[in-house]
Structure 1
Amino acid sequence: MKAFLVLFLSFCLSLPLQAQNSGLRRLTDREDLLGWEAVGKLELGGGSYCTGTLIAKDLVLTAAHCAVSKSTGKRLEPGQITFKAGYSDGRALAEQDVIQIAVPENFQINGPNGADRIRVDVALLRLAAPIPLDVADPFALHSGNIHGAEISVSSYGQGRDEAISRQRSCRILNRDEGMIVVDCDVTFGSSGSALLARSGSRWQILSVLSAGAVHNGQKIGFGMELPEIVAQLKRQLYRDAPRPKAGIKMLGVGSGRSSSGAKFIRPNGS
């Protein structure tokens, strides 16, 4: 695996990814989007964007480099990212601002573009309000054996940023040391798109596409193992979530009732 990575990571692209048009299907109307509503466009301001995928009604999974400023090295501020579920031709099925961002503490946006960076290029975003399940059904994370499983990727990308495009079939070339390498046809355009594996009748998220490479004319994509890092990011969101301020209502002396209307009983029962 190490030799494989040395060979291909030298070709890694530091810019965003997209799946190429070969083998892609554009998901435009409501029938096309059925089952894919949880894939959405992340608008980052300044005209830039990524792809994100709901894993809960208020949690979006994407790449860390989509949520961190290259100029400051810090996470983007709440309100700087908007998630548009099922976005197509100027309209979204649901739209919510991002109010909280979690990225691995060891992720460096301007660090060396290699295996160590790709393994932690994951972000979890909390939305201002949940998106109802009848609008977009979140994807679960994949676990267990994927031998022979069908692999797919859906994303927005350069030149096709007005609708989801789905590449139905990719192959896993290698999976080891926290890295997943696939032969999905990727290039500039969208980052953070989920690599999906079929589990029965349902697709589940296997990885997040972080970087791409070219070797002998073949384009490949790099992702990471997810369950452990996503669990860490969930704990980080919970730890850093704004806490509601406690409200204390004072009782007037001898008032005989609280501000909520609860009465105190006198010793004589009156």
Structure 2
Amino acid sequence: MKWLAILICLTMGGVATAQTTSLRTLDTDYSAASWKAVGRIDFGRNAFCSGTLIAPDLVLTAAHCLYRPGSNQLWPTDSIRFHAGLRDGDAVATRSARGAAAHKKFDPIGPLTTLNVAHDVALIRLDEPISTFEVPPFYIHDDRITPGPVSVVSYGRDRANAQSRQKQCQMLNQLGDAMVFDCDVTFGSSGSPVFSHLNGRGRIMAVISGMVEMEGQKRSVGMVLPQRVTELKGQLRMQVAPPTAQVRRITVGGGARNNTGAKFVRP
């Protein structure tokens, strides 16, 4: 079943967006201090996604970010660099990758179905750990998920050099392991963490997989994480060499993908 058909049904009874706030650049040390674990992942010279440190040497992002846009190849591991807390050209810590795994059930040439969104998750292993005293990682949300307020920290087109935070947006609904949000995302926001704030410091509820546009309204989509992250850690442990491409990436459903790696679908 195609995602757009599902999305129409889901948003009919979704949470009201009256409490959704606007996106704000984290342009001071104080405003950015709590979000240093969110960084920009550069692929080659011109492509990037957002990602989050979840362990001293592990970065969580979206699976489709690991594929070269418009190409039949995955990005070489040695072309991937993570810049934790990047702001105005300065990062709290920068590391190269020594391993990367897109979820084995993610289909990079498949349509934007709930199943594909649910597996659009990847882990990048860094060549050197980042000190937890310098950059405390975020934990994965492993509690009950209900519609309601969340927040997002991301990079994106026209805001690639500093984090932006949407203090409150809404998780509108869930179908299986896929979720719909009204959070403000754009190209480059793929892999951005969606935070719950139920118990003190935010925990990562989902990462942004892509965006749909319906009747002039943007809706972002993400996935339930705990089981996917466990599976990806197993994939990384089994890696003996950097991943090699096995499938082609093409645009799907009339959408387009630019050199930032984000996926957009327009009905």
Cα distance in structure 1, aligned partners of 2:7 and 2:159: 27
Task: Provide the residue aligned with 1:39 in structure 2.
Answer: 38
Residues 161 and 172 of structure 1: CA distance in aligned 2, closer, same or farther (over 3 Å) = same
Q: CA deviation at 1:109?
A: 1.9
Unmatched segments (≥5 aa) in structure 1? 10-21, 243-270
Given that residues 70 and 110 in structure 1 are in contact (C-alpha distance below 8 angstroms), is that contact kept between their aligned partners in structure 2?
no
Task: Provide the residue aligned with 1:207 in structure 2.
Answer: 206
Cα distance in structure 1, aligned partners of 2:26 and 2:7: 31
Task: Provide the residue aligned with 2:264 in structure 1.
Answer: none
Could you say which structure has the larger radius of gyration?
Answer: 1
Given that residues 82 and 95 in structure 2 are in contact (C-alpha distance below 8 angstroms), is that contact kept between their aligned partners in structure 1?
yes
Task: Provide the residue aligned with 2:63 in structure 1.
Answer: 64
Q: 1:175 aligned to 2:177?
A: no
TM-score under structure 2 length normalisation:
0.80
Task: Provide the residue aligned with 1:19 in structure 2.
Answer: none
Matches within 5 A, 1:161-240: 161-240=160-239
SS in 2 for 1:83: strand
Task: Provide the residue aligned with 2:83 in structure 1.
Answer: 84
Amino acid at match of 1:101: A
RMSD: 2.0
SS in 2 for 1:6: helix
Amino acid at match of 1:126: R
Cα distance in structure 1, aligned partners of 2:7 and 2:175: 14
Amino acid at match of 1:40: G
Task: Provide the residue aligned with 2:119 in structure 1.
Answer: 120
Aligned residues: 229
Q: CA deviation at 1:173?
A: 1.1
Q: CA deviation at 1:134?
A: 1.6
Task: Provide the residue aligned with 2:28 in structure 1.
Answer: 29
Given that residues 75 and 101 in structure 1 are in contact (C-alpha distance below 8 angstroms), is that contact kept between their aligned partners in structure 2?
no
Cα distance in structure 1, aligned partners of 2:119 and 2:234: 16
Q: CA deviation at 1:207?
A: 0.5
Given that residues 37 and 85 in structure 2 are in contact (C-alpha distance below 8 angstroms), is that contact kept between their aligned partners in structure 1?
yes
